[in-house]
Amino acid sequence: MTEFEPRLSQMPLPEPPPALRTRMLAQARREHRWRTVERVWRWTLVAAAALLLIANLHFAQAHEREMVALVGPPGIERPIETKVFVQSLAHRQRLLTAWCSGEFPSELKEERL
């Protein structure tokens, strides 16, 4: 450091007003409180949303079980018996042909398309 720097350092610079410290700390405390309250609200909302999801899942499963108990498992889960299905189709086709030709067999009169 040469002679110039000590002389330069003797020249005062403006200082921050003391009131700034008090004002800054008051604002920091206020913002800290707000952040804390905000954080509590955010976690409350997250917990509520999670509970809602869990409850929804639980009731959906319970409802599904009730429905199965009432009507049995959905049809798509039952294996289709191909032979019975083809026989049923052939029978219906025979009925339709007979009805169209006017030769409706008496033993089949009870049946309707």
Partner 1 sequence: MDSDRELLVRLARGDMVALGALYDRHARRVYHLLLARGLEAPEADEVLPEVFLALAERGRKLRHVDNALAYLLGIARHLAHRVRQRRPPPGLALADPAREDNTDIAAMQLLRQLPPEQAEVVVLKVWHGLTFEEIGQALAVSPNTVASRYRYGIERLRALWDEG
As given in the structure block, the two tokens for residue 77 are: 């889960």
Locate tokens 């026989």: which residue? 87
Helix (H, G, I), strand (E, B) or coil at 6: helix
Lookup result for tokens 């429905």:
67
Instruction: Tell me whether residue 20 or residue 80 sits nearer to partner 1 (CB atom).
Output: 20
Q: Does 9 bind partner 1 (CB under 8 A)?
A: yes
CB of 52 to partner 1, least distance (A): 28
Nearer to partner 1, 13 or 113 (CB): 13
Residue 57 to residues 26, 43, 54, 64, 71, Cα–Cα distance (Å): 47, 21, 5, 11, 21
Q: How far is the CB of 1 from partner 1 (least distance, A)?
A: 8
Using CB under 8 A as the binding rule, the residues of this chain from 34 to 73 that contact partner 1 are: 35-36
Note whether 23 binds partner 1 by CB under 8 A.
yes
Task: Please give the C-alpha separations between residue 101 and each of 54, 89, 93, in angstroms, as whole numbers.
Answer: 62, 18, 12
Instruction: Catalog residues that contact partner 1 under the rule CB under 8 A.
Output: 2, 4-5, 8-9, 11-17, 20-21, 23-25, 27-29, 31-32, 35-36
